Amino acid sequence: MCNLMNKDKEYVANTYARFPVEIASGKGSILYSTDGKEYIDLGSGIGVTAFGISDEEWVKAVTEQLNKVQHVSNLYYTEPCAELAKILCTRTGMKKVFFANSGAEANECAIKVARKYAADNKGEDYNVIITLKNSFHGRTLTTLAATGQDVFHAKFKPLTSGFVYATANDLESVEKLVKENKVCGILMECVQGEGGVIALDKDFVTGVEKICRANDIILMIDEVQTGNGRTGELYAYMNYGISPDVITTAKGLGGGLPIGACIMSEKVQSVLGFGDHGSTYGGNPVCAAGAISVINRIDKKLLDGVKEKSDYAFKQLGSAKGVESVSGAGLMIGFKTVKSAKDVVNQCIEKGVLCLTAKDKVRLLPALNIPFETFKKAIDIIKEVCEN
């Protein structure tokens, strides 16, 4: 049984502190380990397998495309890429999509859009981007710079310059940075994920939008984790009634295949021209076919189910002994426990439930279609772990 763990430890770069679970297969929201143990999956691969493991509809969409053509590069047209872009624009009211392969790359594209918009319209010295303290935007050197957490920066400097950090829910801190810098864009998550599953206040988000409009600053919403139904709306910004200039997304979009998207509004749709950006894999037909099947299933009925399960979890965890607070939105849930988050997660593993952490909190990102009964069973186990 330990062969896999040992092989991984010997040959895979030591960048992850993995939990001692060897996954062999799964179905829906159940994962099976190599020793035959069954786990309820409340992490969905960090919010990626939106409809669970090996979901039939998704597998069909992906394999049908695999049997047609798996890749041609962006030198040619393919139907899934164009169709997915059309669906994303139709569902958001946006105008153009650039496809990448990850969340970090989607954000890289957004940052390029904000800088080029300013270079074209305000002058190249308007290159500063405001992000929030405690944010997370990716692991490339530029998206690390965008990430407002020093712990990620240490020993990787110099990072890309031109990033300054405001305090979440503090509009004055944003206004001050806008006055002090030549700002081209503001990038933020409506619910900070890695930062501890913290939803931004509505007044703050609408206030930031006003500042952007007043100063011709590009408003970019990072929906990498919050997007694609996760918070009970197709995209989390829709909970706030704002109109971003750029939306970035990835994680749940592909349902388990790597795809990222930078979605652009009318205002910035033509900022990137021929040769300004590219990606060999971007818009890959297999990933796009998977994403189409994901997005097309995120309808009112599914979102109502997300909200219903969310309400249940907030109530149950909110009143559980050993739980201090619950935060987040939809099926993006964080909770602070009397025990350390690490202890809770490890004890849940023992009892057959897989959870995540975010900072000092336990984090849940179950599949959007997790059966209610399975979810209830898992929540009961979590409560039992937190209480004892």
Residues in contact with ligand PLP by the rule CB under 6 A: 102-104, 107, 136-138, 189, 193-194, 222, 224-225, 250-251
State in angstroms the smallest separation of the CB of 190 from ligand PLP: 10
In the chain, beta strands by DSSP E: 23-27, 30-33, 38-41, 96-100, 128-132, 163-166, 183-188, 191-192, 198-199, 218-222, 246-249, 260-264, 323-329, 332-337, 353-354, 356-358, 361-364
Residue closest to ligand PLP when measured from CB atoms: 103
Longest dimension (CA), the chain: 61
Cα angle 31, 49, 233; round to 5: 135
- Shortest separation between residue 138's beta carbon and ligand PLP, angstroms: 4
Closer to ligand PLP by Cβ: residue 126 or 232: 232
What is the smallest separation between the CB atom of 145 and ligand PLP, expressed in angstroms? 13
Residue (200 or 250) nearer to ligand PLP, CB: 250
The distance of closest approach from Cβ of residue 103 to ligand PLP in the complex, given in angstroms and rounded to an integer, is: 2
Asked if residue 294 lies in contact with residue 254, where contact means CB atoms within 8 angstroms, the answer is: yes
Using DSSP bridges, classify how beta strands 23-27 and 218-222 pair: parallel, antiparallel or unpaired. Answer: unpaired
Among residues 250 and 382, whose Cβ is nearest to ligand PLP? 250
- Please say which residue, 53 or 250, places its beta carbon nearer to ligand PLP: 250
Phi and psi, residue 74, nearest 5°: -85, 15
Instruction: Give least dist CB 180 to ligand PLP, A.
Output: 26
Closest distance of CB 236 from ligand PLP, Å: 10
The smaller minimum CB distance to ligand PLP, of residues 137 and 309, is found at 137
| Secondary structure of residue 332 in the 3-state scheme | strand
The nearer residue to ligand PLP, 88 or 381, going by C-beta atoms, is: 88
CB 338 within 8 A of CB 322: yes
